[in-house]
Structure 1
Amino acid sequence: MTLFQQNIAEVTIKYSHKIKPSDQVRITGSKSVYDFVCPLWPDLEYRERFAVLLLSRSLKVLGLSWISTGGVSGTVVDAKLIFQVSLKSNASSIILLHNHPSGELRTSEADRRITRKIKDGAKLLDIDVLEHIILTSETYYSMADEGEL
């Protein structure tokens, strides 16, 4: 092994799942997303988290990836992490998700800005951003349903 080979990191990309396609959950709309994700979401009323739901071409769930965890009033979202996991899982489309611990369902300017940024980047990668949902412990807000996407 040469000195050059010793000083370079090896990059591996791996995605595996144990659920047969016939057993994967199919997303049919914002309510089905909320019903699927809400029971899996820790700390809905405690701290803000951001996640991405990864979908196949037939809108079946490939996985859920936690992108960031913040404090009571926000979290930092790194779009590169969203694209990394989307490409790694071979997702055809994604759904953005985050919670508002305050219970407030209105979108903020920061919510709209990160949605636009991710949607623009995803377009270059041929990945559709279908939805951005804000969750609370009682209900949800769908940016797609409300015409904000």
Structure 2
Amino acid sequence: MKNKVNEIKISYKSKETKTPCKINRSADAANLLFEHWNQDTIELHESFKVVLMNNSNIVKGIIEISNGGIAGTLVDVRILFAVALKTLTTGIIICHNHPSGTLKPSEADKRLTTKIKQASEFLDIKLLDHLILIFDGAFYSFADNNLL
């Protein structure tokens, strides 16, 4: 009797854009993320997103990894890196919002960043920054504050 096993198919399709978006500094990433954040919910609940990039820091896409409650959201690091590996991403910027309006990273934010940094180093994917956004357009950069 033959064992029945599911077939796994992995695919990635790129939409070529006329003007590729390149990230040169944290403000570039923050501006891009603010453009792609639902402004009706940025001060209501936390979400966690990842900017996926190639070796030239050209943005391949943005994906929402989790959507949570008022004071937090759970991030499954395996899902984050499954997407990064599937899209042949070489650099990432992680980001979440603080509905409270505070830009100070929590201890949980710092622990998650460390966990993602360790995994990214193992997989040869550069963690370029972790941004915290708030509803008034301000942001906090872990890289700019030497926390990476």
Matches within 5 A, 1:56-135: 56-135=54-133
Partner of 1:19: 16
> Alignment partner for residue 30 of structure 2, among 28, 34, 39?
34
Give the letter for the 2:79 counterpart. Answer: L
Give the letter for the 1:75 counterpart. Answer: T
CA distance in 1, matches of 2:129, 2:112: 13
2:42 matches 1:44: yes
Structure 2 stretches lacking a partner, 5+ long: none
Report SS of the residue matched to 2:52: strand
- Shift, 1:3, TM fit: 4.0
1:102-125 CA deviation, whole Å, 9 max, x = no partner? 111000010000100011011111
Give the letter for the 1:84 counterpart. Answer: A
Identity %: 39
Report SS of the residue matched to 2:48: strand
Report SS of the residue matched to 1:137: coil
CA distance in 2, matches of 1:30, 1:77: 22
Partner of 1:146: 145
Report SS of the residue matched to 1:23: coil
Structure 1 stretches lacking a partner, 5+ long: none
- Shift, 1:27, TM fit: 0.2
User: Relative to total residues, which structure has the larger helix share, 1 or 2?
Assistant: 1
1:29-48 CA deviation, whole Å, 9 max, x = no partner? 11001111102112111110
Moved over 3 A (4+): none
Q: TM-score scaled by structure 1?
A: 0.93
